[in-house]
Chains A and B, each alone.
Chain A
C-alpha cells in the first residue's frame, strides 16, 4: 500500500506559504511560481491517490491510514493521522484541481505583467496596475489550500477541525485582503468589516462544534473516524445513551452541535449573513473559498459524520434529531436564499446567495438520508460554482478594462452591478459560453449538464422519503433557473448599457483557460453519477467500463452500502419542468426584451414592497445588529468594564483603602503622637538641657582646662587622703 505519501498532499502549499512569506515576498514571479508549482505537486499526488483508490475493490473496507500519537491524555494518547477512504478519494479529485485552476486564474486576475501603478494604494484594489500585495495573496491562497487539504485527508475530527479553523483564518485574511478600502457610503460594509463578520459568524458555529467534538471524545475515548463511524457497536451505543438534554441521545446532541458548526461554515440560515458580504474579497477568493471549498467543508464534515448523525436511523424509518434539523434548515435555506438571489443587482451577490441555496440542497439531502446524492452534488456544485465565480471575475475585469479604456471621461460606476453591463456576449465570447454552461449546470439543464444529474438524484431521493422537502426543493430549483437566466440576460444579452461595457474586452489566457477546463467538468462530471436504474443511459454507461460507479464507490465509505433509489419518472419530470420552466421564465422577463440603459428591474414594480424585502435580504443584517451586536458592545464597554470592574469591584477596593487610611490616621494622631511618642521626646529634651548647661566649661582655653584639672586633682587627693586617714570609708 503506497500510503506513505498521503500525508505529503497538504504539505506543498504549507511550505509555499512559508517560503513566500519569509523569502520570496518581493518577487511576484517567484511567488506565484512557488504557489502554483506546490499546488500542482499536491494535485498530482492527489490524482495518483485517487486513481489508485479506484483500482481497489471494496475500497471502503481497506483504506489507507497512518497516525501518530500527538497529545498525551493521562495513560493514553490522542492520535493524529491521515485517512483515505472512498469519500476522501472523491474529494481529492476535485479539491486540488479547482484550487490549482484558481491559482492560475489569480495570476491574470491580479494583473500580473502590468506595471505597478503609483496611484494605487497598498491595501486597496488596484485600478489598472498589478496588485501591490501580489505575493501576499498567493501566500494566503497557499495557506488556505493547506487547510482544505488537511481537512480532507484528516483521519480524526480534531484534525478536521484544525483544517476547518485554518481555512476560517484564511477566509478572514482574504476577505479583508483589501484592508484599506473605504467606500463613500458609510453604510456599505468595507472588506475589513466583512472579514470580521465572517470570522465571528462562523465562530458561533465553531464553538458549538468544539463542544460537540469534546463531548464525542469524552463519550467514546477517541476522535478517529474509522473507530467511531465505521464501528457498529460504537454507533449503536452513541445512539442509545441518553445525553444531558432530555429526549436526545448522545449521538443526537453531538450531531446537533457538529451541525451547528456546519451551519456557520456553510452559511446556512440563520448564520448565512456573512457569505454575501464575503464578496468584498477578490473574486478568486470568492470562487475558491466561498464556492468550491471552504463552504463545502461544512457539508463535507456533515457527509463525513453522517453515520453519527444518522445513528439509529434505518432507511424508511424515523429521522434522528440531527437529520430533522438538517432537513428543515437545508430546505428552508435553499428556498430562502433563492428568493433573495432573484432581487440582487451585484453579479457576485447573486452567486453568493445561489451558493447558500445550493448548500442548502446538500444539507437537506443529508437530512433525508441521501448520502451519496449530497456528496455528488457537493462535487458538481464545486465545479460549476467555481466556474461561475471565475466567470463573473472575468466579466468584472472586462468591464473595468472598458472603464479605463473608454475614450473620453472615465465613468465612475460599480463594475459589479449587472445593470451596468449588457451585450458582453460579443465582447467576451469565451467568458460568455463558459458562463452559460456553468449557469445551465446550476439551473440543472436536463441531461447534458452535471448539475442536472446531481440535483435530480437529490430530488429523486427526496420524493421517495419526505415529500415536503421535495416540493420545497423543486420550487427552489425553479427560482434557481429563473435568477440564473436573469443573471445571464442582464450581463451578456442585449446591448451594452454603459460605455464601460461597450469597451469591455476578453481577459487573458490565464483567466480564460481555467474557465474552459471547469466548463468541461461542468458538462461531463455528471455522468459518473447517472443511476444505474436510469432508463437507457444508466445501463449504457455501466457497460462502458462501469463509468457511472460514483454511487457504488462513495457509498462504500459507509458500513452499510446505501441503497440506490428506484427510478421514478415523477421527480425527473418535475426536475426538467422546474429547470426549463425557470430558464424560459427568466428569458421571457429579461432576455426577450433586454433592458436598456437606466431601465429599472422589471420585477421591481409588480412585486413592490416584496421586492424591497428581497433586495434587503429580509433585513436580517439589521436584525442581528440590534439583537446581538449592539447589546454585545454595551455589555463589553459599559457593563463589564465600567460598571462591574471599575465601579463595583474597584469601588469596593478603594473603599477598603480609604477605611485603612482613616484607621491609620487615627492611630497616628491620637495614639502615637500623644501617648507613645512623648516619653522619648521628654527624655531627649532633658538630656539636651543638661548638655546645654554643662557646655560652658568648654571655653577653648588651655589654661582654664588645666585649672579645672588641677582643682579636680586636689579634690580627689583630699578625698583620698581622708579615706586613707580613716575618716571616710
Chain B
C-alpha cells in the first residue's frame, strides 16, 4: 500500500522519497519552506540556492528553479542573481559550515550591505555530509570527528551565535530569527516573514534553524529530540531577534 503524505505544492513529488537520512532535520525545514512558498504564492519567482554538504541533496527537491553552488558560496550567488533580476525571490540555503565558516565573510558582507535575499541556515552542530567534523556551532564538550575528546573552548572557541551577529550588524530593515524543527508552524511563520521582507524590497533576512543529525550525533530518536528541544537551545535560543516594524502585528504591508 502506497502512502502519500501531504506535501507542499512547491515540492517535486517525483524526487520523493528524498535522500536525507532518517531523522534528518532538512526534511522538516524544507517542508516549512515549501509551505511558506505555497502560502505566499511565489513558486514561479523563487530561486533556491543550496550549498555543498547535506543541503546539496536538495538540488532537485522543489518545483522551483534551483542552483547547487559551491561550499559557502550560496549567499554571493544568490546576491548576484538578485541584483541582476530584482523580481526573483532569491533564497540561499546552507548548513552551519557554509554560513559560519567558509561562507562567513559572505554572510557578514551581505548582511552589512542589506542584500535583499533570504538566507536560511540549518544548524546541526557539525559537518554532516563529510562525516561529522566540528562546525562553528559545535557545543563545548561535544565530540566530533575532529574534536574526538570533546570541543575545548580554550583551543577552539565557543559556538558561533549567527543570528545574534547578523542582528548586531544589520539595521532596522533586516529580519533575523532563529527557528527550530521542533516547532514547524512557528518556523513556517518565520520563513514567511523573511520572504516577505524580500518581497517588500526592504532588506536582508536570515533564519537559523535548530536542526538534528542523528546519524552523526549517534543518537536514537528520544536522544535526538532531547538535543533539539533542550540541549541546543541553551546555546541557540529560539525566537525572533530583529523584526522590521511593518512585519510586526501580522502585517505584510509595503510601508516600512
| Same assembly | no
